[in-house]
Structure 1
Amino acid sequence: MRTLAEWLSYQERTHPRDIELGLDRVSAVWEAMGAPRPAPIVVTVGGTNGKGSTVAFLEGMLRAAGYRVGCYTSPHLLRYNERIRLDGEDASDDALVASFERIEAARGSIPQTYFEFGTLAAFDLMARASLDVAVIEVGLGGRLDAVNIVDPDVAVITTIDLDHQDWLGGDRDSIGREKAGIARASRPAIIGERQPPVGLLDALRGIGADMQASGDAFSASRVDGEAGWRWSHRDGTVLDLPRPRLDAPVQIDNAATAIAAIHALGSRVDVPPMAIRQALEVVRVPGRLQKIAESPLTLVDVGHNPQAARALAEWLEATPRRGQVRAVYGALADKDVGGVIEALVDRIDHWYLAGLERDTPRGLPAGALAATLAAVGPTAAGRSFENVASAWKAARADAGEEDIVLLFGSFFVAAAALSHRT
C-alpha cells in the first residue's frame, strides 16, 4: 500500500502536464465513483484574490451556527492534508490514501492531473462525512476547473484581476468570463468586487444567474465613531459587526462577501448575527498577513499578483510605524513581477530578493527579480539571495526593532517562512 507521500509523487508523474483544464476526464471518473454530492448545500468560491479568506469566513460563520462544514482549498502551505477540512479537522493521511485508492480503481485508463485527484478526493471524503455544507475553492479560473463538475447552490466571485493570463485571457473581461462559469441559472452569484469587469457581468447574465453584487445588493461601510463596520442588504437587513481578526482593510470586503453568500441561502441555513460576530473575532488564515514575530514585526503573506500587492500597499500605508519596511520577495515565472513591484516600490525601503528555482521548476531566480526591480524602481535598494532562508536571515540582521519585515510573493515563500520561523 502506498503512503500519502508516495501517492502524491505518483500523481505528479501520472499526467504529462501540471495543468490541463477541462471537465471531461474528471467528470467521467466522478460518475464512475457514483457522482457523490459533497454535501446537501454547496458554495463554490472563485476569483483572483480573497478566495481563501472568504472560504475561511464562510466556514467559521457556518460552524459557529452549529453546521458541519467541509472545505476544499488549494494550494497548501505545509501539509497536503490542509487542502481538505472536514468539520474543522484536516483530512488524515489514512483517509486520503483510502480515497486515492478508490479514485485509482474508478479511473481505469482515464488520466487525471494532480489537482483532479485532489478534487475527487475532496468530494469523496466530504460525501462520506455527513456534512451540512461544502465550501469549495476554485483552483484556476472557473468554467473549466475540476471543481465545476458539481453544481453549486451559491457561486461566489470575490475579485477579478490579471493572473494566470496564459490560461484565462489577457484582460479582466476575459478572465471574468472564465470565472463566471461557476454560476448556474436562477441561482445566486455573489460578486465581492465593487467595480467588476463587464465581461463578468455579461457572462453571468448569459448564464441567467441571480447576480448580487457588492455596492448594489449588499454593502460594507464604516460606522462613524465606532471601531467596527456595518453590513447591509437591499432587503433591509443590517448587521453591526466587529472588525475581522484577519488584518488588512480588504478583509472586511471578504467578510461582507461571505455574509452575502450565507444570506443568499435564505431559509436553508440559520446563521444568527452572534455566529457571524464570533467568526469574525476568531477566524485566521495562515499566510494572510500572518504575524510570526513581534520585534521586529514580521509578517507572512501569500500575495503574488498586482491586486494582492495593492492590498499590501494599502495595509502598509495604514499601519503606523517608526522604522523601515524590509521585504523578502520571491515569485514564480508566470506572475506579473513588474506589476507587483510597481504597486509596492514606494512602500518598501529595502528588498531582499529570494530565488525560488530550487523550490519549483516555475520559480524565478533572484537575478530575474533584481532586473525587474531595477527597471521598475531604478533607485530602489535591493539585494539578491539564493533562497528564502538566506534572504530572511539578512533582513533580520539588518532590521531594527521598529522595522517591519514582510515575507511575500508566493505560497513557496510563505511555506519556507512558516517552516523555519524561530
Structure 2
Amino acid sequence: MTAEKNQTQVERRQPLFRDLTAEDPEPEATEISSLCMNCGENGMTRLLLTKIPHYKEVVLMSFSCEHCGCRNNEIQNAGKTLDKGIKATLLVSGAHDLNRQVVKSDFTGVRIPKLDFEIPSQSQKGEVTTVEGIIDRAIAALEQDQPVRRIQDAEGAAKIDLFVAKMRALKLLDEPFTIIFEDISGNCYVENPNAPALDPNCSVTHFKRTKEQDHLLGIYPENEDAALLKPIKEGEYSLEDIQGEVLTFPTNCPNCNNPCETNMKMTNIPHFKEVVIMATTCETCGNRTNEVKSGSGIEPYGLRIEVQVKGTEDFSRDVLKSETCSIMIPELELDGGCAALGGRFTTVEGVIQATKEQIISSSALIGDSSDKDAVDRMNSFIGRLDSVLSGNTAVTLILDDPAGNSYVQSLVDDGPDERLKITRYERNYEQNEELGLNDMKVENYE
C-alpha cells in the first residue's frame, strides 16, 4: 500500500517549469493581489512559470486592474546566468525583419547607431516582443511627458518631437538600419526566420564579461586559488584518485529546474586526450543529459574535421564534440554554431539525431504567428535530416573547433581514412577573443 502511494506521488510530481502544450490545458498560475500604480487601487497579478523554446525558464507576469483598466505584462528570467554575454547585430532591411521575435532579459541593452539612440540595460523589464515592438515602446516612452514638457521646455519638446519622427521613419524602411542587442547575462534571443539555414542579416557573437559586469549580475567568484595550490595531505584525494572515482554533486535539472544530482568522471579517450564527462538524471521529469569538457586546456591550433557520411559504418564513428565546436552540413545548408548541442561524447548518428531533436524543439517558436512558408521550410528540412539518418542521402559532417578539443574516430587502423579529413589552422583574432586568449598573460608575471 505504501509503495502504491509513493508511486502515485511520483506520478503527480510536475516540473516547476513546464512547456505550454495542449496536454496541459490548465497550467499552474499563481494569483497575487497587488497595488495598481496607475489608480492606487488593488489589482491582480498572475504568475506563470514556463519555458520558452530555444531559450530558457522564465516567469510570465500579467497585471490587470478592474478599477481603471490598467494592464501590464512582464517577463523575468528564472534560469541560470550563462558563462558569457551575447551580442546580436541585426540589419533591418524589410518588414520581415521588423516582425522578428526578440526575447530580452532585464540586462539587454539596445542600440540603433543610425540615430545614436540607446536603451541602457536594466532600464526596461525583460519581455518577449518584436523589433517593431521595441521601437514602438521607445516612442511611447519618449512621448509620455511631452504635454508637460511643451509647457515647461518648448525647445526641448520640439527636439524630442523631431527625434520621435526619425524613430517612426525607421519603420517605413526607406533605407536599412542596424539594431544591436547586447546582454551581459547571455539571455537574449533574436528569431531567425530562415531557420535552420544561416541568418544573412543577423550576426551573433559571445564575449567574456568584465569583473564589474559579473558584480552587476550578482556573481562574486570564490577565492579558490589557495585551495587549489594547497599540497595534498594524507587522506585527501590526489589526481589519480579522482580519475578513478565518480564524483557526485547537487545541481538543478536543466529541463525542469528541480534539484537533482550530476555524476562527473575524468577519463582518457584512446588516441586523443583527457576529458571530463558529466551526466545528469532528473527523477522528477526523467530528463537525462550528458556533457563533455576538455580536461587539458586549449590546443595551439584550431581543428577542422570533415567526415563523409555514406553508410552505416560512418554512423558508428565515435565523436567527441567540445562546447566550442560548431557543426556544419553543407549539403543541407546547416550551420549549428558552437552553442548547438554543447559538449558531448556520442557517435556521428547521435550528432545528427541530436541536431534534429534540437531543431524540432526550437521550431516551437514557429507558431500561429509565422507564415506558412516558414513552417513548410522547417518540415522540409526535418524530412531531409530523416533521409540522412535512414542512409538514403550522403552528406559531409564538418566539426570546426577553434580550441582543438574535438575528435572523430578513424575506421582505418593503418594508413589514412579516405572519408575522414583533419585540418589544423591558425586561429584568427575573433576566435582568440571568443576563447579569451587575447587578454591572457602567460609571460613576465613578475
Do both proteins adopt the same fold according to a TM-score greater than 0.5, normalized to the shorter chain?
A: no
> Greater helix share, 1 or 2?
1
TM-score by structure 2 length?
0.26
> Greater strand share, 1 or 2?
2
Larger relative contact order (Cα-Cα within 8 Å, sequence gap ≥ 6): 1
TM-score by structure 1 length?
0.27
